[in-house]
């Protein structure tokens, strides 16, 4: 297994990440964190470990450079975050560990909006998108251009976000599945909730990637 910290060039700087590639990986999942969160997010690290055991490579990364992180507005700049995802995806195609692997985006909170917008870029080909407690509405008009199969996972008690996800699903022209984790709130901190998220994402992704 390849498991190392990496630096990804972006513009005149770089962003840091953790790339993990199990043997015989079937795809690589790029995590787009929520506002103010980074590659050390315990929730995304937990999900990543579940996906790795199912044969999926993962890239946990900070979407902003150290200089950009000090500007609070940048963590809500969906265009900037989407560009970073595209840059990271292009970088993956140059790495011997991941070249040739299909790419999946996994977005959390505001990162989901960035992931969906990035998935519409002509510069990349995205096999699927997963959202955990995401804000797909932040992708704006790009929602109507998403062609990648998409899984939206939302907590049953995250009422406002659940409504936003259901509305987004009606807007998107691609295959969309909305999965509700009963009793869970926005961060899925309830006992067993995050485990359900990881299992839902794993099973759906494996099905998508092995039948297409």
Contacts of 41 (CB under 8 A, 6+ apart): 31, 33, 34, 60, 108
- The CA angle 88-39-108, to the nearest 5 degrees, is 85
Q: What is the mean pLDDT of the chain?
A: 94
> Within a 10 A sphere around the Cβ of 50, how many other Cβ atoms?
17
Q: Please give the average per-residue pLDDT across 86-115, as a whole number.
A: 96
* pLDDT for 161: 97
The H or E element containing residue 18 is: strand 13-21
Q: Please give the average per-residue pLDDT across 5-26, as a whole number.
A: 93
Cβ pair 123, 46 in contact under 8 A: no
pLDDT for residue 35 is more than 80: no
* pLDDT for 69: 84
Topology of 2-211 in CATH?
A: Rossmann fold (3.40.50)
Of all residues in the chain, what percent carry a pLDDT higher than 90?
85
Q: Please give the average per-residue pLDDT across 1-7, as a whole number.
A: 96
* pLDDT for 39: 85
Q: Which residues pair with 39 in a beta bridge?
A: none
When mean pLDDT is compared across 12-16, 81-85, 137-141, the lowest value belongs to: 12-16
- The structure tokens listed for 177 are 């599945």
- In 73-190, the DSSP E strands lie at 102-108, 126-132, 150-155, 176-181
Cβ pair 132, 146 in contact under 8 A: no
Q: Please give the average per-residue pLDDT across 174-190, as a whole number.
A: 97
Q: Please give the average per-residue pLDDT across 138-161, as a whole number.
A: 97
pLDDT for residue 36 is more than 70: no
Query: C-alpha dihedral over 188, 189, 195, 196, to 10 degrees?
Result: -40
């Amino acid at each position: 297994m390849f498991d190392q910290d990496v630096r990804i060039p972006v513009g005149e700087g770089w962003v840091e990440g953790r790339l993990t590639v199990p043997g015989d990986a079937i795809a690589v999942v790029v995590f787009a964190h929520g506002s103010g969160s980074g590659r050390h997010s315990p929730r995304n690290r937990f999900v990543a470990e579940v996906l790795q055991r199912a044969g999926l490579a993962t890239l946990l990364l900070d979407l902003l450079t150290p200089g950009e992180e000090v500007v609070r507005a940048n963590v809500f700049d969906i265009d900037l975050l989407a560009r970073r995802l595209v840059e990271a995806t292009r970088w993956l195609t140059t790495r011997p560990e991941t070249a040739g692997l299909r790419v999946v985006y996994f977005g959390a909170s505001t990162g989901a909006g960035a992931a969906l917008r990035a998935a519409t870029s002509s510069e990349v080909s995205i096999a699927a998108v997963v959202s955990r407690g995401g804000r797909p509405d932040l992708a704006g008009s790009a929602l109507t251009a998403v062609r990648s199969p998409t899984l939206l996972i939302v907590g049953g008690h995250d009422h406002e976000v659940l409504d936003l996800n259901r509305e987004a699903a009606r807007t998107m022209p691609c295959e969309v599945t909305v999965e509700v984790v009963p009793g869970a709130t926005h961060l899925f901190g309830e006992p067993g909730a995050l485990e359900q998220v990881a299992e839902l994402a794993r099973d759906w992704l494996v099905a998508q990637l092995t039948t297409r």
